[in-house]
Homo-oligomer: A and B are copies of this chain.
Amino acid sequence: MFEMDHVAIPCPDIARGVAYYVENFGADVLYQDATWAFLKLGQGKLALVTPAQHPPHIALGVDVQTLEIAARKAGKTVDKHRDGTQGIYIDDPHGNVVELICYPDGETVYK
């Protein structure tokens, strides 16, 4: 099961980008530092990323087992992130970056 989780769009000035999405669209800030921010808009999530540090991408949420199977298939090692999520990045046929992301129960800063 693959579920749209978030999209990460380029934003060279995170503070300015966060202010824009909060003021204009009522975004809630889940996380923010100088290189990226994670915003909630209704039930969906939007990441703002400085492209030099984080590639713009779309992210599909998966469970641990699906992530492990996909990682083996893609020949990738699962990355464990500081926020507790785990994932891999793969490329679609047209150069778009697709992250498969897993939020292990009780292990992330978001739940």
Contacts and interface: CB of A to CB of B under 8 A. Distances in A.
Interface of A: 1-7, 9-13, 16-17, 20-21, 25-27, 41-46, 58, 60-61, 92-94, 96
A13 B93 CA distance: 9
A101 to B, nearest CB: 12
Given A1-B26, A26-B2, A41-B60, A10 B94 contact: yes
B20 A92 contact: yes
Q: How many copies does the complex hold?
A: 2
Consensus secondary structure, chain A interface: mixed
A67 to B, nearest CB: 12
A4 B4 CA distance: 10
Question: Most chain-B CB neighbours within 10 Å: which of A4, A5, A58, A61?
Answer: A4
